[in-house]
Amino acid sequence: MSAMSGWMELADIQGRPKRVWTQTLSWVLFALGVALYLQVSVARHRENPDDRVMPTGAQLMAGVHSAVMSQPEEDDPLDDGASTWQKITHGMLWKDTVASSKRFGISLLLMVPAILLGLHMAVFPLAESMFLRFFLFFDKIVALSLLPILFIVFGIDQWSKIMLMVIGVGPTLLLDTYNLARAVPREQVVKAFTLRSSNWDVAYRVVLKQILPQVLNSVRLNLKPLALFLFAGEMIASTDGLAYRIALMRRHMGMDIILPYLLWVALLLFVLDGALRILNRRLHPWY
């Protein structure tokens, strides 16, 4: 009877499942995915022991160890007496993660001016008249089509990839901020002016403070497109980075390296998304 009531509680719109239920259910699909992969992998290797499409669990663990501890082929080998930490910090995964993280972090910082411009366009009519139509048009340009131009202008080093990410995601964040700021009731702006607020007070202390939680959520939702443009740039022209390594391993059918890299990228984005959610909750508990 208690089990039945527990299931009824889970199916109740107004029910509040116990913490043990929520924690258990949150891992069910992960466990099913791992179990299904291992089952299919074992079946494929039973038919073909040399199968390289779906590595076994042991092969994946060996691939993880190789990615963490092995140096890239293009680097000079370490001394025989190198410590474990030195091997990790000179390994493929560490080097590629640092390279991609730098590009990702710089592009995220460059989103701040785009967000502020969107705010100004919504608050100041002159800025709206000057920039809105241009960005509505520019947002429709497929960013990847600009990649050859970016390579010509910025070369094939860091800035061509960073600018691809900024061009691909920046206009969307800008217009989203503009729409959020425009949705702030006009009565609040008028009320702020009656309380002797300046133009900057209205823009930053009234409008921006209200929309900032939604802007952070918009940034969270654009993490994956940002990573997509990063991968596109690194796969086409790069000498390091997570996507570069995946493209390199693809030529050798190195799925034992590719799959851990894919899961590592997903984990990094998941952690960053969680950090932004926690930051949003701490800064805006009222939202």
Instruction: Give backbone dihedrals phi and psi of 180, rounded to 5 degrees, phi first.
Output: -65, -45
pLDDT at position 225 is 93
Taking alpha carbons only, the member of 188, 202, 215, 232 closest to residue 276 is 215
CB 173 within 8 A of CB 183: no
- Highest mean pLDDT: which of 63-72, 140-149, 213-222? 213-222
C-beta atoms surrounding 241 within 10 Å: 26
**Confidence bin at 7 (pLDDT 50/70/90):** low
Structure confidence by residue, pLDDT tens digits, 75-121: 777 777 778 888 888 889 999 999 999 999 999 999 999 999 999 99
Rg (CA), the chain: 24
Residue-level length of the chain? 287
Delimiting residues of CATH 1.10.3720.10 domain(s) in the chain: 92-283
Q: Say if residue 176's pLDDT is above 70.
A: yes
> pTM score > 0.85 for this model?
yes
pLDDT at 113: 95
* CB proximity list for 232: less than 8 A, separation 6 or greater: 144, 147, 164, 243
Question: Rounded mean pLDDT of 127-147?
Answer: 92
What is the pLDDT confidence band of residue 2, given thresholds at 50, 70 and 90? low
* Options 3.30.70.20, 3.90.470.20, 1.10.10.10, 1.10.3720.10; CATH of 92-283: 1.10.3720.10
What pLDDT, on the 0 to 100 scale, is given for residue 3?
56
DSSP symbols for 49-75: TT--SS--HHHHHHHHHHHHHSPPTTS
Specify the higher pLDDT residue, 155 or 94: 94
Amino acid identity, position 258: I
What is the per-residue pLDDT across 182-196, written as a single tens digit (0 to 9) for each?
A: 999 989 889 998 988
261/51: higher pLDDT = 261
Q: Is the pLDDT of residue 266 over 70?
A: yes
- Residue 9's pLDDT band, with cuts at 50, 70 and 90, is low
Q: Are 112 and 119 in contact (CB under 8 A)?
A: no
Name the pLDDT band for 5 (thresholds 50, 70, 90).
low
